[in-house]
Amino acid sequence: MDELLEQFLIEARELIAQAGDDFDRLARDAADRPTIDSAFRAIHTLKGSVAIFDMAPAGLALHAAEDLLDSARSGARTLDAASLGALVAILDETDRWVDAMERTGVLPASAGAVADRLVARIAGEEAETAPSGPAEAAPAWLDTLCAREKERIEAAGTELVAFRYAPDPECFFRGDDPLAIAGGVPDIAAFAILPAEPWPALAEFEPYHCNVILEGLSRAPIDAVRAALRLVADQTQIALVPAHIADEDEGFVPNASQKSLRVETARIDALADGVGELIVASNGLAHAADEADRLDPRIGARVRAAHAELERAVNDMRRAVMAVRMVSLAPTLRRLPRMVREIAEALGKPVRFDMRGENTEVDKGIADALYEPLLHIVRNALDHGVEGPEQRRAAGKPETAALSLQVRRDADHVVIAIEDDGAGIDPARIRDAAVARGVVEREAADAMDDAHATRLIFAPGFSTAAQVSAVSGRGVGLDAVKAATEQLGGSIDIASIVGSGTTIRLR
């Protein structure tokens, strides 16, 4: 990956995280001037960063966000729920565009239209905009080209530029020569001429109708390829192709925000085993020092000094090996705020999401495996645990629900608590649902205390299609979350108060 692009990805994600935190604080206090200033600086810097790359739609949207925040700074405009929603929408879309730049080096084809909608929303021309969804996957033509030229791409050993030129069918009448234009791309590594439509029978063939698509790979910089095709820019698509094309089942997207050396876990485990053997050997040396004392105190003192030095080095090595496996949870949890906003918006439930302790370090294997279980719990809380605005008003609660995720250390353990202020779980209805599903017999269910009955939501086969008012809405697939947690050597527990909310803890 280009060093400048890599640095941009790191900086952009830091600025997006900073602005996201600021927007969360402004949702609680929209008049907080220091937070408005902080958000303005983050958006202003981010706008300057995207200007270095071919990200005009992102620059357009961020400029509108910057103007809105500047108006709020001067007091000319108040940050209400609608304007904050528009700011968050721009930030979320920018986050997707940054991901797209990492994958392909270019923005999705829809970026311009999406940016226009976001700017209109900032201006108040759209009261509400549907979520635009995740950034588009790599286009089909690029996947096909990479599969066709996989050996050449990997043999190149460096990043290539893919291009696709689909000439206008009437281009010959304008004097265009598609082959000459495509041939002007510098340092071509692969080239193919494909039919745009199936070739007609010879009797129906029209020689002045251009029916070809020209695709290729170039070793030249992407700007040089764009320059060569600038006269037909409206008929071309260009994308970066990494030197290594992952197999479909790898499912790995590199994250430039964490520079790391990828090492198999087994190798780290072997290193840890080696350190353990050194500790045993070090203890043996201490015993040898005692024996040497009886023979010659001077030799014993030298052996003891050597043992002390070895023990210090071994302990340092043990701590270093343990630290190799420890990573911050922040990259794992980074996507959750955006997911919460999207799910809550789709459900029509205003939700304030608070996340604390995300920089807590855990074992790398645990960090990698935690996202899906946590997302499952959060989705259940939003979909089933948190009531809609009307139900909350009727219950005397604020219309905006509260959902939080807190990570903390407890000795050698990490505790993650997901808490909502929703309807809570009714143990009696859980008993009825469990009996109806055949999870437990009626006699056993009636004998359970409320805490035990509530934990039935983690039982295999327990599920309910009822709404919050019926069974408080938990239990769809939470047995899988429990299994995943236990597979990591952890445990899961739940506490709930009917009408007040639910807390699920992973330990």
Q: What is the pLDDT of residues 278-311, one digit of tens each?
A: 888 888 888 888 888 888 888 888 888 888 888 8
What are the pLDDT digits (tens) for 76-102?
888 888 888 889 889 988 998 988 888
Mean pLDDT estimate for the chain:
81
Stated pTM of the model:
0.51
Using CA atoms, how far apart are residues 100 and 160, in angstroms rounded to an integer?
17
Residue 402 has pLDDT above 90, yes or no: yes
Residue 195 identity: P
pLDDT band at 139 (very low <50, low <70, confident <90, very high): low
How many Cβ atoms from other residues are within 10 Å of residue 23's Cβ?
21
pLDDT band at 175 (very low <50, low <70, confident <90, very high): confident
How many Cβ atoms from other residues are within 10 Å of residue 138's Cβ?
16
Using CA atoms, how far apart are residues 397 and 424, in angstroms rounded to an integer?
13
SS3 238: strand
pLDDT band at 29 (very low <50, low <70, confident <90, very high): confident
According to the model, what pLDDT value does residue 261 have? 57
Residue 474 has pLDDT above 70, yes or no: no
Token representation of residue 209: 């109708």
Residue 374 has pLDDT above 50, yes or no: yes
pLDDT band at 343 (very low <50, low <70, confident <90, very high): confident
Whether 448 contacts 474, CB under 8 Å: no
| DSSP characters over 165-181 | E---TTGGGGT--HHHH
Q: Highest-confidence range of 89-98, 294-303, 359-368, 461-470, by mean pLDDT? A: 89-98
- Position with higher pLDDT, 265 vs 298: 298
What are the pLDDT digits (tens) for 407-453?
998 877 899 999 999 989 888 888 888 888 888 889 888 888 888 88
Residues 6+ apart with CB under 8 A from 325: 268, 363, 364, 365
pLDDT band at 488 (very low <50, low <70, confident <90, very high): confident
Cα Rg of the chain (Å, integer): 30
Residue 215 has pLDDT above 90, yes or no: yes
According to the model, what pLDDT value does residue 392 have? 92
